[in-house]
Structure 1
Amino acid sequence: MKESQLRDLISLNINKLKSDLTLLKKEQYIPNEFGTNGFIDLYAKDKFGNHVLIEIKRSNAASREALHEVNKYVEGVKQHFGVKDAEIHVIIASTEWGELLVPFSRFADDTTFSLQGYEIVVTDDGTDFHVNLVHPLSISRGRFIAPWHDMYWYKDASALENGVHSIQKAYQEKQIDDYVLVTFYFRNELSAEERVAVMRASIAQMVGIDESEVSPLPEIPVHEYIAYTGLQIFTKEKCLQILSRDLDVIEEVQELLPDMEEEEALCYLHESVGGMKPRPKNDYYEIGYPAKFGKLLDAPNSEILNIIRHGSFARNALLSNETIISELRGEDGSTGQRFKKKISVNNTAHIKTLKSEISSCLSENPIWKSHILRIIEEIQVEFPDSEIDISIYNPCTGVFTIYYATTREDGFLYIPSYHIIVHNTNDVRMYFGALEKASEALTFPQILDKYYWGNLDALLLAVTWGGKDSRDSDIIEDLGAQYRSFRCDKTEEGHAFFKLRDDKWRVCPPTDFITLFSQYLEYNEKLVNQIVTKIHPRNNGAFFDAGSSTLSLDKLVDMDFAKKKNRYFEGAPPECDICHCAFENEKYMIDGKLQDRGVWACMCTDCFKSFGEGIAWGQGQLYLRTPRGWLLVGGFIDDSDMENL
């Protein structure tokens, strides 16, 4: 059957393609002043009044021309009829899809207008046909290292070498082809005795006992060599294909998957692939993630030994080690927390990719996402031939954003911010994002009530999975801050500053993200003090103690003696003298001496753990909240001492 005969056959039954189509003309002539004129095989409209262009092909040779023809006709229709992309629907109808499917899939992914493909199956006698909708293939997103890594520790260089071979063998058996493996030497700066002491202190804090009560610990082995792996991200289907080799695992996975969100499911699937047999040999194993890789990389006692590439990472001779390290750190936006890139504005592929990456990276920060996408479009108009450097730090850690920024020595590195520098012969403009004081903040107990069931332990548990919170923008607002965007123009007179407000740039005083954050801290000093004094006593360095802070005080209570003495604190203050949190939410109140100060204060449990000297006569008294008031339950004075007063 000739192509013209196929066209005529379809025109008689055009509703087999789509039920709402009305044929307007066969061989619709479309002039094109910028190229060759052409004829659309079938020109129709749908029920919405859209222009439907139907391109018909009947051989592999002809199908290869289809996409070129479509592009030409679409531009001609837009020019000739004054049509918008949103008013165009293209249908490619072909009897052969062997050589058309891949380019069609890429075209469908890239195009801005509506596009569908149909396989035409003609009856043997050539009098009728039926159609099959063609589903585009999933287009590869290119290189993208999954943010779920593996970290294998070894005791010496020989064990590391054997471990690397074991990893490579295990990955090969699991059909994991595309990955990078970075080996480290990590010098342990603690002696065996010091490591035992640290572990003893950690156990005592978690259990709420004195260090002397911890059972003797065995010698802790030293692991100073690391093999760190990051994989090219798998599709859900690829993960299931790998897992299907183990019937028990795949059965459990398929049972759990339906209840999971897409990202959670993908994380679970990657972890399941990593956990299935065969497992690489190691002396100790940890889950890795970009932030952990960054800390390992920046540690002064850490040294990269080798970067081993496999699969597509090895085949890409233009891929630098620096780029691999950057992507393992998550600077490609894979974690939604960091992003770093330099692009040419006149490169449309760069711009399209950048916008997609920004949308993905800032999916949980809608304010900055909309601001930065707007800024990119502004740069395209005002500086079309420029290059831009963009760097984003978006931790999405809510309360811990305030805590980390105020307690770390390098705290300014934990302040959310972004910078976009425009290079146009000279640096002519900079955009930056900052946290700025906004509305009145809730109190810390109100924050806990609203987001963490009134429980500090629930907040601390969030850190065990990295501390990232999808409610970050809401929490930040309730903390009295807001994500803002600013612009700085370089002029002959100096620098002019603007703030984006109500979708318009408005003149503002010179500023920077550190100054704005400092002003927020100063204005909300009481709230910041509450956050730090409540969280800091639970910070054990390696982890946050999410156990109840009252456990260590419970053992000091002598209720029999307390009931016998029946002494209450008269005139108790409504809130802690240090953090100003209300005592109505506390189990205990301590009236005690502050360490190294000689002054006394009424303290909550957390402040006592940080600043209190002890529970004993002359150091501090422990009171329990009861319906009648604050009952003295610890730190009693002996009767003999009472008589001498």
Structure 2
Amino acid sequence: MRPPLEHELREALVRNLELIEPGLRPVQLKEYPLPNAHGTKGSIDILARDRHQMWVVVELKRSRSSARQALHEVNKYAELLCREKHLASDRIRAVIVAMPDDWEELLTAVSNAARDWSHDLRGYRLLLDDGGHPIAAERVQLLPRAFEPRITPIHNLFFFKAEEQRLHGWNLISKVAADLGALDLLAADFDRVAQKQGIPAPFGLYLAVGRVDEASASVDLLNGYDGPEPFAAEHPAEYLALCAICNRLARSEIPGMTMEGARPGLLTNLADDPNWAIQGFRGTGAFDGTAAYEDRDLFRFLSGDDRGDGQVLYTGSASPRVASRWRGFRREIRQSLAGNPVWESLVAGWLDEASEKVGYGDIGLHIYNPCNLLQAIIHGWPSRLEEFLPMVMGEAVSDEGQHSSVRGALCWNGRGMSLPEAVRLVHQDSLALMSNMYGGTMWERDRELLELLGLQYVLLEKIGPGQAETSAVDERRVWVRHTQGARAYSARANPSAYAQACADIAANGEIISVTQYLNKHSREVELVAREYRAFIHVI
């Protein structure tokens, strides 16, 4: 028997749309023509109304070759219904009807479109009797969103006496990953390359646990964890996975092996230390040797700055017109500015405004948010301060070439107590400092210290036609945070308000950065640096 043609199926189906959904009825029995003032015309196979009075674009595909056109057709017709028939976008949805075999070609593409398209999109397999007449339609179960195996903050360090021991340790770790259900792990080998004397275990392995996929994980990881360890509440399965790995290596009794806790950002410190060198990366599951990642991607995953998980360092860019990436970009920035509500508010305000102006342009940000002025003094004074002081550097470039550059800084308002006095008041004694350092509360103490010193976070912005040095045609603005949120003051649009905003953050009319403040009070800074370097053994 000859298989029915597509128009024959359409004529049979249009009179019996309830095979697809109860209450579905055709707007007209013929194909529904749509004019198009912007190009190609077209006709909807079946335009229907559902029981909620929504318009439903029913696209029928009979062969595998025509099935490939289905997404193009429903996209076009939904847009034309809005433009040419003036229908509300939220009142339109679409249905793709195809033969069972044709869904092998359609399933992946339709699943992706259904998740990200603004209109509801569904698929149905059309079943025919021996005579080629429609007798039923089965709803297609679209594919769920692919599991995203990103790295979590569950990290650990392992040290070995010999390179062969490290390889043995990694093999044991890989075995545990397999036993726990294709666990995604990422690790970096790093070696002591200088000043090796007194280092009993110079071969390191930095390990991070990826998100646990509950669909494939061992049941042992899905029972949750209610202990006090950091991150366990947010990542219980991943923490239990790390516990299983550490227990396995502890039982192996590798001579001289030691373990230490780690956190996002620590690998960056190791990479910057001339005594250590990263030798390469290892992974299991999504991060094994077959993955498409480059070494720089793997390093960013482990350091945490790829998504702001390190809450210290972040570099990223996005276009506001790419909605999915823009949402992720904003989320990563918020994460990287955790513990710094002032900069978080100011940067969010700048991004809100910049996203409206750049069109199809780009916005990029580099953030260093340690929330620890005392650490900058201890490690950076006097010649390396810029490496440790907080910063925000941002650039928004419109598709027309207009630039907005923003720089975040700590500024001194000319008031506040002396640095040694403020540090002693906040940190009390050496025992309290140690408690703050290892208890993860330095960012809270840092906020208190800045307030006592008269230092505050601000954003300084320049808007102009290019990236050249500041000129008379550029607009200068200062962003400050008030109780009602972030606000920008323009030197051009409102000179008096701009002058007042600058006066609030300046000392005697001059904006003084934290670097200038520290150099201005160099004797006090030297006293604090010597005292706390001696305590924490920094040379």
Name the TM tier (shorter chain). 0.5 to 0.7
What is residue 497 of structure 1 aligned with on the other side?
Answer: 476
Matched position secondary structure for 2:152: coil
* Aligned equivalent of 1:98, options 91, 104, 109: 104
Same amino acid, percent of matched pairs: 19
Q: Distance in 2 between matches of 1:157 and 1:235?
A: 29
Q: CA deviation at 1:153?
A: 0.7
Q: CA deviation at 1:18?
A: 7.1
Matched position secondary structure for 1:297: helix
Q: CA deviation at 1:498?
A: 0.9
Matched, 1:160 2:166: yes
Structure 1 unaligned regions, length at least 5: 193-220, 442-455, 543-645
What is residue 445 of structure 1 aligned with on the other side?
Answer: none
Counterpart contact for 2:126–2:134, Cα < 8 Å = no
Q: Distance in 2 between matches of 1:146 and 1:332?
A: 11
What is residue 74 of structure 1 aligned with on the other side?
Answer: 78
Q: Distance in 2 between matches of 1:274 and 1:17?
A: 49
Counterpart contact for 1:147–1:334, Cα < 8 Å = no
Q: CA deviation at 1:7?
A: 6.9
Q: CA deviation at 1:102?
A: 1.5
Q: Distance in 2 between matches of 1:86 and 1:331?
A: 38
Q: How many residues align?
A: 465
Q: Distance in 2 between matches of 1:468 and 1:123?
A: 69
What is residue 274 of structure 1 aligned with on the other side?
Answer: 242
Structure 1 pair 70–2 and aligned structure 2 pair: CA distance change class (3 A): same
Matched position secondary structure for 1:237: coil
What is residue 353 of structure 1 aligned with on the other side?
Answer: 325
What is residue 490 of structure 2 aligned with on the other side?
Answer: 506
What is residue 34 of structure 2 aligned with on the other side?
Answer: 30
Matched, 1:236 2:213: yes
Q: Distance in 1 between matches of 2:78 and 2:12?
A: 22
Given residue 314 of structure 1, which amino acid in structure 2 is its aligned partner?
G
Alignment of 1:196-235 (within 5 A): 222-230=200-208, 233-235=210-212
Q: CA deviation at 1:340?
A: 0.9
Structure 1 pair 380–90 and aligned structure 2 pair: CA distance change class (3 A): farther
Given residue 476 of structure 2, which amino acid in structure 1 is its aligned partner?
F
What is residue 267 of structure 2 aligned with on the other side?
Answer: 293
Radius of gyration: which is bigger?
1
What is residue 333 of structure 1 aligned with on the other side?
Answer: 307
Counterpart contact for 1:489–1:495, Cα < 8 Å = yes
What is residue 192 of structure 2 aligned with on the other side?
Answer: 186
Q: CA deviation at 1:541?
A: 4.0
Counterpart contact for 2:394–2:407, Cα < 8 Å = yes
Moved more, 33-42 or 181-190: 181-190
Q: Distance in 2 between matches of 1:15 and 1:336?
A: 53
Matched position secondary structure for 2:214: helix
Counterpart contact for 1:367–1:483, Cα < 8 Å = no
Structure 1 pair 401–255 and aligned structure 2 pair: CA distance change class (3 A): closer
Matched, 1:139 2:181: no
Could you tell me the TM-score, scaled by structure 2's length? Answer: 0.66
Given residue 124 of structure 2, which amino acid in structure 1 is its aligned partner?
E
Counterpart contact for 2:28–2:47, Cα < 8 Å = yes
Counterpart contact for 1:481–1:520, Cα < 8 Å = no
Q: Distance in 1 between matches of 2:451 and 2:9?
A: 65
What is residue 303 of structure 1 aligned with on the other side?
Answer: 277
Structure 1 pair 85–391 and aligned structure 2 pair: CA distance change class (3 A): farther
Q: Distance in 1 between matches of 2:452 and 2:54?
A: 46
Matched, 1:254 2:199: no
Q: CA deviation at 1:25?
A: 3.7
Give CA deviations for 1:337-395 in whole Å, capped at 9, x if unaligned: 2321356x59x65x7524423224415666256335425524523xx56x654212345
Given residue 117 of structure 1, which amino acid in structure 2 is its aligned partner?
R
Q: CA deviation at 1:271?
A: 2.4
Q: Distance in 1 between matches of 2:479 and 2:140?
A: 47
Q: Distance in 2 between matches of 1:429 and 1:496?
A: 9
Given residue 240 of structure 2, which amino acid in structure 1 is its aligned partner?
S
Structure 1 pair 401–145 and aligned structure 2 pair: CA distance change class (3 A): same
Could you tell me the TM-score, scaled by structure 1's length? Answer: 0.57
Alignment of 1:388-399 (within 5 A): 389-394=364-369
Q: Distance in 2 between matches of 1:15 and 1:127?
A: 8
Given residue 359 of structure 1, which amino acid in structure 2 is its aligned partner?
R
What is residue 426 of structure 2 aligned with on the other side?
Answer: none
